[in-house]
Every structure is written in structure tokens, then in C-alpha cells.
Amino acid sequence: MTGDLVARFLRQLRTELEAIVDRTLSIANAATFRRKLDHGELVTMLDLTNEQHVAASENRKRLLRWSSAFESFLRRRGAAGAAEINPLSSEIMPCVTLEWSDRGEVPEREWRTKLHRELLRVTAEIGRHLAVCAAEEERRIPHDRMRFTPFLLRIQVCGQRQWQVCAGDFAKERVSDPKGLVLIPVEPSSPERRECFGRALFMRDIRARGNVRIQLDTRQAGALHMLPWELLHDGDQFLGLDQGISLARQAGPTIPAPQRSPQSPLRLLVVVSSVPGTTFLDGEKERELLEAALAPLTMLRLLEIDVVTDSSFTALRRRLRAVASSGRPYDAWHFIGHGGEEHLVMTGDDGQRRDVRGTEMAMLFKEPPLRVVVLNACDGVRFETGGSTSGVAAAFLAGRVPAVVAMQKRVSDDAAILLAEELYGALSEGESIDAALIEARRAIWFQPNRLEWFIPVLLTASE
């Protein structure tokens, strides 16, 4: 976010919190009291009408949205206070729901005074965090958008355990068993083994070339095609975690990515497909977590999210048709659900499972074109020994989608939410798909279960 956007967001947060407090006091002042005995003690209780209960419940939801947005914002910005916001919102919650009460014989006026005092105490503490965050933002150096220069890395088999390597503008090299590479059927399981494996894959010093996108083409590399190249290592660190190096799999002809006006919000369509008869998937929970993580962006109108909770393929098709006729197409599509080698699992018009082929999906999204597709599904992409790239991701690329982020293997819910938060956050702020995915991978790496950072694969057919 730019400094102006951050200032606007912080002002909006402060205004929203003030509105929540004002609404709480308004409901409390309009309510009546009654007394009752509770285990021998006389308790002062609010006697709320149904309408007041509904208003208090809506106020609670408003506070939860506010709290999630602020916490997500602080976390993404690396600002102070992210860990304190959730406990503070928990402190203020009984006040907002009007479940805050005093034991004993307390006059109504005194009860309201104490309620008001407690609200002011907690909101003052929250206000301190807002002020600290604003001061930190004023000291930030303006961030320039990163541009990546393509760097072709093509590997072709040319004999028994021999490969020809073409790296950028370097001359072609013929190597045998490059860097002591050992072909194994699965990637190493521990961080230490993965680092050794990455060093074996590649060690060329590429940082001196500036910000580059390694456009990896292994379609003619035989058995090397199926290796987890996201683990490339140059002897210092994994290249996929370097902020100046993007790694993309070349999986189709070069096509330009559609452009978006910087003044327009990023339009995101989320499909949650939880089909009866398949492995349990709590898509509703993942949707709620995703919306909460992206709340700061939606509040600032940098991002617009539409969610299709119906698993029906027909419902998706109709939504896209309605949007196309409105002249406001989507920029990105995010799928949460199950997949197979060449399909995504949805439901048909009869409510039963329907396996939708990748080619059908690609045709559905062909006009107008998307900027990126994110597939949080098993088998979204598969790299075969013979050099072919299969899965739904490959079908989207063939259907002229310029970039697809797919999972090489199953990813945990926590990693999937963090990936989406960082990826769409960066895209909505004007970053390229390269810079956005780098930040998402780095965010996963810094989590306790950092082994999942390399699972998201960027497949591209764009420059």
C-alpha cells in the first residue's frame, strides 16, 4: 500500500471503532434493567428486546470484521501490535454484546458509567496501536514495484544421462550428471535434505544479474522434468526465497498478460467446492478465513471478492455470464476443492458429483481472459517423466490464461490461507505475479511448518 492508502485505512479503522462504541452505548442506554437472584446474589441484568439482541449481535460481527482486518493489516505490514489486537478485541467483546455486568446491587446509572469507562479504556489502548502504526508508516521508504528480466533456463536431454543446458545468454553447455544430481522419485522430506537436493540441482550465481525471472523449460529434459525445481539452491539459499529471483515453469507459448487499470480494484472470484461423497473439506471455514485475511484490502476497495459457495458447475457458468455482461470481468479465480489428474470435482445439475475437465474450465474462462488462476486442489499440476505437464493447470495455460499457481502436492489449510493473503495482497497493490508469489513463499517459510513453501508452482505462458 502507498502511504496515502495506509493513512486512509487507519482513519477508516478509527472511524469504524468509534461507530461500534457509539452503537454499543446507544443500545445500552435504550435497554431496561431487571434484578434477579443468582446463587443467592442479587444481580443487575439488562433486559433486552429481540431487536436489541439483533443489534448487539450485528455489532459483534462488525467488531470481529474490524479486528480481523486490523490484525491482518498489522501482520502484513510487519507493524507493532499484531499479537495484541486479538486479546484487546476479546476484552471489548462483552461490552459490545452487552454481556458485561456487575454483581451486586448496582444502580443503573453506575452500571452504564462503568460500561462506558471500560469501553474507553480498551479503545484507548487500541487507539495507541493505531497511532504507533501510523508513525511507523510515516518513516517507511516508498516502495518501487519490482520488474523482472526474463532469464531462460532450458534443459534438454541429449544422451544417456547427458543434458544440454542453455542458461540465459550463456553458451550452451553439455553436462553429464550435473552437480552430482541423483534422480529420486520424491522430494526430500527434511529441511536439511531439501537444501542438499537444491544445491545438487543448480548452483550458478545468478544474483549479479539483478531482478530476474528464471523461465525454466524442462519439457525436453526427460526424467529431470518431474523434479521439484522450486528447490533450486545457489550455495547460499534457495533461489525461490530470494526477493529478486522469480522461478516460473515454462509450460506454453508466450502470451501477454491482460492489463488492469491501477485505479481499479483487483476482482477475485472464489469458488468453494465441497461435494458430498468426497473427502471432507471444510470449505466454509476456509472461505471465512480467506475473507478475514483479505479484509484490509476489501475495506480499502483495493480488492473485490465474489464467492460462489454452490459447488454446481452451472452456477459458476451463470455467474461468469452475468459478470461478462456487466463489463467488469474478474482478474483472478481461486478454486478451493478436490481435483484429479485432469479435472476438478464439482456437482452437476442433479446435485451429484461431476468431474469437470480442465479443457471445459479453460473454455469457461477464455473470454474475457484472467490474469491468474490459483488452484488449491490436489493434482492441480503434474510433471511427467516423459516431459509432459498435465493437470488442470496445463489446460488453463493452453486456454490462454497467462499464469497459473498450482500445488505440486497437498498443502495445509494454514499455508493455503497465508498463500492467498500474501498473493492477493501484493497483486491488489500493483505487484507482478512474480513478486506476489515470492512474498507468499517467504511468508510460508517463516512459519513453524516451513516445509510447504516450495509446493506452490508458478506456471506461465506470459513474458
Question: With 90 as the cut, is the pLDDT of residue 430 above it?
Answer: no
Question: With 60 as the cut, is the pLDDT of residue 19 above it?
Answer: yes
Residue-wise pLDDT tens digits, 349-382 = 888 888 888 888 888 887 777 889 999 887 778 7
Which residues, other chains included, contact 234 with Cβ-Cβ below 8 Å and sequence gap of 6+? 202, 203, 204, 205, 206, 207
pTM score over 0.75: no
Alpha helices, H only, 78-181: 82-96, 108-138
| Model pLDDT, residue 288 | 78
* Extents of the domains making up the chain: 3-138, 148-463
Best CA proximity match to 290, nearest among 313, 272, 273, 317? 272
239 residue type, one letter: L
Question: With 50 as the cut, is the pLDDT of residue 238 above it?
Answer: yes
Alpha helices, H only, 274-376: 283-293, 295-299, 313-326, 358-364
Q: Terminus-to-terminus CA distance in the chain, angstroms?
A: 25
Alpha-carbon span 344 to 375, nearest angstrom: 9
Contact 152, 168 (CB under 8 A): yes
| Model pLDDT, residue 170 | 46
Instruction: Say which residue, 155 or 330, is predicted with more confidence.
Output: 330
Query: What percent of the chain is helix, strand and coil (3-state, nearest 5)?
Result: 45, 25, 30
Distances (CA, A) of 179 to 171, 200, 383, 411: 18, 5, 22, 30
Distances (CA, A) of 442 to 1, 70, 240, 241, 362: 19, 21, 8, 6, 30
Mean pLDDT of the chain: 78
C-alpha grid cell, residue 117 = 469507562
Q: Among 203-207, 339-343, 401-405, 412-416, where is mean pLDDT lowest?
A: 203-207
**295-303: average pLDDT:** 81
Cα atoms found within 13 Å of the Cα of residue 299, Cβ hemisphere only: 28
Residue-wise pLDDT tens digits, 187-236 = 445 555 555 544 545 545 566 667 888 888 888 888 788 888 888 877 77
Instruction: Tell me which architecture the domain covering 148-463 has in CATH.
Output: 3-Layer(aba) Sandwich (3.40)
pLDDT band at 256 (very low <50, low <70, confident <90, very high): low
Instruction: Say which residue, 245 or 136, is predicted with more confidence.
Output: 245
Residue-wise pLDDT tens digits, 128-185 = 888 888 777 777 665 566 778 887 878 887 777 677 777 665 444 444 444 434 333 3
**295-312: average pLDDT:** 82
Q: Which DSSP category does 447 fall into?
A: S
Instruction: Say which residue, 65 or 161, is predicted with more confidence.
Output: 65
Alpha helices, H only, 294-432: 295-299, 313-326, 358-364, 392-398, 413-428
Question: With 80 as the cut, is the pLDDT of residue 405 above it?
Answer: yes
Q: Which DSSP category does 142 fall into?
A: P
